[in-house]
Structure 1
Amino acid sequence: MDFTHSPRAQEYIERVTAFIDAEIAPREPEYYATLRSQDDRWAVPPMIEELKAKAREQGLWNLFLPDSEHGAGLSVAEYAPLAELMGRYLFAPEVFNCNAPDSGNAEVLLHYGSPEQRERWLRPLLEGRIRSAFCMTEPAVASSDATNMRATAILDGDTVVLNGRKWWSTGIGHPDCRFVIFMGLTDPDAHRHRRHSMVLVPLDAPGVKIERMLPVMGYHDEPYGHGEVSFTDVRLPASAIIGGPGRGFEIAQGRLGPGRIHHCMRLIGMAERALELACRRATERVAFGKPLANLGGNRERIARARIAINQARLQVLHCAWLLDTAGALGAISELSQVKAAVPAMAQEVVDMAIQLHGGAGLSDDVPLAGFLTAARALRMADGPDEVHLGVVARMELGRYRT
């Protein structure tokens, strides 16, 4: 493949870079100061709506969506460098309306949703007027094997009834969250990959309750958050099922592929910024009469970080190219490879940057503690490392079976 950015991608790179440098980077301290000082910890700082309006006016909106009618019409490979730029600032994706899990939910609705579902939920989501969450993981079972799910979505005439408990439902703490996509067991006697359905659930539907917001290593990730949610006899029209009963696994595979690589793209940006902060600290800070860069093998650590980031970026771009040219089925192993490799790389680079910052690296004065938490959590989200390594090993060993 040719790793050269297309003229269209290069134009967007320049525009997104200019916007981040002018509008987002200078206001990062204001964003976090507002989050810490406001009475409602889950309120969105007012600057976000201001920045969203500016991004939309400049056509820097829904860049993740490879559909020219609803988004920028960029390929996965063209979107990759833009997601990397957004990954440098934890709140940047929302500014461009490219935030997870909304981006994945939007793709589900675009590809599998009915006209009515798209009008009710997709349109306001793409306009940035509402947010959403994705309810798949369950506390009572090992959800890395999705066939374990106990939550149910049972058809009853022209309605569907939901029961169960989900957790790590990212984005459900956002004050603009209006719906979730719920995955539940519909027909236990069907083929194991035809048993489940995905259902659109208004957050204010009777029987839906946010039981608690879950901290991740002490961070609640306001104003997005990760919640534990119970569903008790939630009765909805059967038309709320996405794509029809039994298509949950099919939709999940279609949703999680782009979602996984988008995470990896943003993690590369996070690692780049961590390395940049590390290099500044290493050249400006002096200990024992020398810059930190000249102490304790720090030069080698910085060099290895640069090598690791570049390797990860090329691997992600290759996977993106495969998604564009061969589709998700042609990139199964490569998607699992990047999902296992990139979060671990980012975690290691950020940890190195924290070490170079000393006590400051553990504080909120620099974004490194938040970066480390995000990178570590993403080794679990969308499937733990072990599941992805198992996929890669199975496909690799399959070449040698006779």
Structure 2
Amino acid sequence: MTDTLAAEVAAFFDREILPRHRAWSEHVAHRRGPVPFLAGLRDRARAAGLWNLGLPDRMSNRAFAPIAEITGRLPWAPEVFNCQAPDVPNMIMLQHAATPAQNERWLQPLLDGRMRSAFGMTEPDVASSDATNIATTLRRDGGSWVVNGRKWYITGAAHPDCAFVIVMGVSRPEAARTGRHSCVIVPMPSPGLRVVRELRFLGWEDSIAPIAELAFEDVRVPAENLLGAEGEGFAAAQVRLGPARLHHCMRAIGTCEVLIELMMARAAERRAFGRAVIDYDATQQAIARSRIDVEQARLLVLRTAERLDAEGHQAAWRDVSMAKVAVPEMAQRVADRAIQIFGAMGGSDDVPIHRAFAMARLLRIADGPDEVHLRQIFRQEPPARWTVAASPYVTLPPA
């Protein structure tokens, strides 16, 4: 069944999506508003049963991995199947923590593809790599929560169809560090909620889930918009973070497959100093190392997906962290090699390489920077059993 679905997604991609990529690129480069043919593609994908495939109640992470790779070949392909970030992680979070009324109001329209969403965690004035630094406040006032604070680099918040943002803020300042924060659903627009500006990263603009800075100034939402229990914002966020991080890695591998294909084509077509570029050792090594990098990353992601499915996030978080560090680093290296082989064209909008580079670089910061994951990974290493001199693996002469 899994192989059949992946084959169906691949066939749909080749038949319906890839031939329209030029038209999609021209549209987002020159005008705002919906891409004219996207709604029709989404309808056809849904009719074919290729819809919401990234949700755990639809298929496992392991089964979704090859499908996410296929959708990762183009930045807008996940949206055709309603598998785009940040909506899928938000759906997972809502499925886990939302009340029946919240599911009806917010989750079902997301599942149907009738609205978009965002998740508001990072802030401009604190180091959000330590999530306990988050300073946005949630104050209970009668039948309302009052939200004050500022969020930035909020993926999807600048999308015209973004209907709500899940905001993490401090609701119990006297509690322990990991019990101070809660999450509330804030509709967009709400009085006092302002989109300050749309943000880019390394000059790259996210055309699928536009990134925004948001200001919350005495924003009131009903008390029933609390998502999960008060003080359990971190626990609720962790439910979405594991799949979110891993799905990014899966899609990045698909992107890198495209980059390798493009490197092969460019190197075969160009000549320098009397030889085809592909005949130079440096070119062959760059492509070979990229192939090795991709295959290693894929195995790590698949193993992590299997463990996440079998044991849950608490048991698999170390594996997720390793994938989260390794795959974006790998994708950045592959994109860098592709830029080098393409020359100036590699940094232009004519090819998808600079977008892949920027996205990979962003992923090394987003959802926890490399340093935080590396620190946690290191802490799980067991202490040394011996001194070097006493180790049975070492053959130093007697003192």
TM range (shorter): over 0.9
Change (3 A) 1:266 1:400: farther
Aligned residue among 293, 311, 314 for 1:326: 311
Q: Which residue of 1 aligns with 2:142?
A: 157
Q: Which residue of 1 aligns with 2:239?
A: 254
Aligned residue among 101, 107, 111 for 2:86: 101
- Aligned letter for 2:20? R
- Contact 1:124 1:130 survives alignment (8 Å): yes
- Contact 1:180 1:203 survives alignment (8 Å): yes
Residue deviations 1:144-185 (CA, integer Å, cap 9, x gap): 001011101112232211100000110112111110000000
Which deviates more from structure 2 when the two are superposed, residues 219-228 or residues 250-259?
219-228
Which deviates more from structure 2 when the two are superposed, residues 217-226 or residues 89-98?
217-226
Counterparts of 1:336 and 1:35, CA distance in 2: 33
Question: What displacement does 1:363 show?
Answer: 1.0
Counterparts of 2:62 and 2:119, CA distance in 1: 25
In structure 2, list runs of 5 or more residues that go unmatched: 387-399
- Contact 1:172 1:226 survives alignment (8 Å): yes
Aligned residue among 337, 353, 357 for 1:368: 353
Which is higher, the Rg of structure 1 or of structure 2? 2
Q: Which residue of 2 aligns with 1:47?
A: 37
Question: What displacement does 1:398 show?
Answer: 5.8
Aligned residue among 216, 226, 229 for 1:244: 229
Counterparts of 1:17 and 1:76, CA distance in 2: 18
Corresponding residue SS for 1:380: coil
Change (3 A) 1:36 1:121: same
Counterparts of 1:205 and 1:88, CA distance in 2: 36
Change (3 A) 1:106 1:299: same
- Contact 2:75 2:208 survives alignment (8 Å): no
Q: Which residue of 2 aligns with 1:314?
A: 299
Corresponding residue SS for 2:373: helix
- Aligned letter for 1:60? L
Count of matched residue positions in the alignment of Structure 1 and Structure 2: 386
Counterparts of 1:177 and 1:117, CA distance in 2: 16
Q: Which residue of 2 aligns with 1:185?
A: 170
- Contact 1:9 1:78 survives alignment (8 Å): yes
Aligned residue among 276, 279, 284 for 2:269: 284
- Contact 1:175 1:223 survives alignment (8 Å): no
Aligned residue among 335, 350, 358 for 2:343: 358
Corresponding residue SS for 1:123: helix
Q: Which residue of 2 aligns with 1:297?
A: 282
- Contact 1:104 1:255 survives alignment (8 Å): yes
Change (3 A) 1:126 1:193: same
Question: What displacement does 1:399 show?
Answer: 8.1
Aligned residue among 216, 225, 235 for 2:220: 235
Question: What displacement does 1:214 show?
Answer: 0.9
Change (3 A) 1:399 1:203: farther
- Contact 1:88 1:273 survives alignment (8 Å): yes
Question: What displacement does 1:296 show?
Answer: 5.2
- Contact 1:173 1:223 survives alignment (8 Å): no
- Aligned letter for 2:39? E
Q: Which residue of 2 aligns with 1:10?
A: 3
Counterparts of 1:296 and 1:355, CA distance in 2: 14
Corresponding residue SS for 1:233: strand
Counterparts of 1:328 and 1:400, CA distance in 2: 29
Counterparts of 1:400 and 1:209, CA distance in 2: 56
Q: TM-score normalized by structure 2?
A: 0.95
Question: What displacement does 1:253 show?
Answer: 1.1
Q: Which residue of 2 aligns with 1:57?
A: 47
After TM superposition, list the pairs within 5 Å mapping 1:23-38 onto structure 2: 23-38=16-31
Percent same amino acid among aligned pairs? 49
After TM superposition, list the pairs within 5 Å mapping 1:33-182 onto structure 2: 33-38=26-31, 40=32, 43-67=33-57, 73-182=58-167
Question: What displacement does 1:256 show?
Answer: 0.5
Q: TM-score normalized by structure 1?
A: 0.94
Question: What displacement does 1:44 show?
Answer: 2.2
Question: What displacement does 1:294 show?
Answer: 1.6
Which deviates more from structure 2 when the two are superposed, residues 297-306 or residues 134-143?
297-306
Residue deviations 1:185-234 (CA, integer Å, cap 9, x gap): 01111121111001000011111100011111112212521111010111
In structure 1, list runs of 5 or more residues that go unmatched: 1-7, 68-72
Residue deviations 1:355-392 (CA, integer Å, cap 9, x gap): 11112111111111111111111111101110111111
Which deviates more from structure 2 when the two are superposed, residues 386-395 or residues 214-223?
214-223
Q: Which residue of 1 aligns with 2:396?
A: none
Asked if residue 273 in structure 1 is aligned to residue 258 in structure 2, the reply is yes
